[in-house]
């Protein structure tokens, strides 16, 4: 299955919901303020999100108010505007030896699986990878990450359950430098219900890493569950307020009706989406392409 067909399949229910809402009003005569207000409500109902729905309908107002447009012409405008406010993913460049990723997100979002898939990708490209199990409060998380490390051929650093997460991160980066690793992925805890404690824990990890090298971590990557809709946006805002996120991974875009949340995340944060998870298999993490994603939402 090609990349576009994979994304299109993953967004099928979201696309059907959006097109179903639009078909009831688009192409039904001249574009009016009343029609645009109804369209905005329908886009929100289809889980595009409030901020993205406003931007999309505002663009349609500027270009089409008072004009008679077909449904396809309306979709073309929406698609163009959605693509405009999605940030282009940057081309990855190694910024250190090793390049350090600090991977954050709430429990259940798919951090561990994402790390395993990315470790396999980098290993397949010939890079030596280190994985650090810094979510030390969940034995299951450590064990799951170790399984992924073995599957991907990555080096692995863990401490005993309940150990200081910053110490795990520190030891992993030191070991990675000594062993000549190219990339380090540091898993972290995600107990958002105890937000202040979690943010301080992450801040401590960052402080400790910078004692090794002021440039660490090179990337602060947030993993979000695409199923959670508006909750994913709220999570992203909480993390982004405390840490300068450099990229997002949106997981579980595998046929649910919440794929439009990506638009609101992007319009709210202006942080590039780097990868999307389209399933559980190790090869089902694909690079984000905004044109293909937008077509997956607004193209029949």
Is 299 flagged in the annotation as binding? no
Beta strands in 168-240, from DSSP E residues, in sequence order: 183-187, 219-225
Is 32 flagged in the annotation as binding? no
Is 105 flagged in the annotation as binding? yes
C-beta of residue 48 within 8 angstroms of C-beta of residue 264: yes
Is 188 flagged in the annotation as binding? yes
Q: Which residue has the tokens 């046929």?
A: 255
Q: Which residue has the tokens 């190790």?
A: 282
What is the rounded CA–CA span in Å between residue 20 and residue 39?
A: 11
Is 10 flagged in the annotation as binding? no
Is 187 flagged in the annotation as binding? yes
User: What CA–CA distances, in Å, run from 153 to 124, 170, 184, 285?
Assistant: 9, 21, 13, 17
Is 252 flagged in the annotation as binding? yes
Is 119 flagged in the annotation as binding? no
Is 254 flagged in the annotation as binding? yes
Backbone angles phi, psi at 9, to 5 degrees: -65, -40
What is the rounded CA–CA span in Å between residue 270 and residue 261?
A: 14
Q: Which residue has the tokens 């993490």?
A: 285
Is 191 flagged in the annotation as binding? yes
Is 291 flagged in the annotation as binding? no
Q: Which residue has the tokens 């004009």?
A: 67
List beta partners, residue 156. Answer: 131
What is the rounded CA–CA span in Å between residue 215 and residue 244?
A: 13
Is 106 flagged in the annotation as binding? yes
Where does residue 127 rank: exposed (0-12), middle (13-18), buried (19+ CB within 10 A)?
middle
Is 110 flagged in the annotation as binding? yes
The alpha-carbon radius of gyration of the chain (Å, integer) is 21
Contacts with 140 (C-beta within 8 Å, 6 or more apart), sequence order: none
Is 253 flagged in the annotation as binding? yes
Point out the annotated binding site.
105-112, 187-191, 251-254
Annotated binding site for GTP: 105-112, 187-191, 251-254
């Amino acid at each position: 299955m090609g990349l576009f067909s994979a994304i299109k399949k993953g967004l099928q229910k979201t696309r059907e919901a959006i097109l179903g809402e639009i078909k009831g009003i688009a192409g039904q005569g001249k574009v009016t303020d009343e029609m645009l207000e109804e369209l905005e409500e329908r886009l929100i109902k289809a889980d595009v999100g409030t901020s993205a729905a406003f931007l999309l309908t505002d663009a349609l107002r500027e270009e089409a108010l008072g004009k008679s447009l077909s449904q396809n012409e309306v979709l073309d405008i929406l698609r163009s505007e959605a693509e405009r406010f999605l940030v282009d993913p940057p081309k990855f460049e190694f910024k250190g030896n090793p390049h350090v990723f600090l991977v954050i997100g709430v429990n259940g979002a798919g951090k561990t699986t994402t790390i395993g898939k990315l470790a396999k990708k980098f290993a397949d490209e010939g890079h030596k990878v280190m994985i650090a199990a810094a979510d030390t409060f969940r034995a299951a998380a450590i064990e799951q990450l170790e399984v992924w490390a073995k599957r991907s051929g990555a080096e692995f650093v863990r401490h005993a359950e309940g150990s200081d997460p910053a110490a795990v991160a520190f030891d992993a980066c030191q070991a990675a430098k000594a062993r000549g690793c190219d990339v380090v992925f540091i898993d972290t805890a995600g107990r958002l219900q105890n937000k202040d404690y979690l943010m301080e824990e992450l801040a401590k990890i960052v402080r400790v890493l910078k004692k090794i090298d002021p440039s660490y971590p090179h990337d602060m990557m947030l993993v979000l569950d695409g199923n959670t809709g508006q909750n994913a946006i709220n999570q992203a805002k909480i993390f982004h307020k405390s840490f300068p996120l450099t990229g997002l991974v949106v997981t579980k875009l595998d046929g649910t009706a919440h794929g439009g949340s990506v638009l609101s995340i992007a319009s709210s944060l202006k942080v590039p989406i780097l990868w999307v998870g389209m399933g559980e298999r190790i090869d089902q993490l694909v690079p984000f392409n905004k044109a293909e994603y937008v077509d997956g939402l607004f193209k029949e």
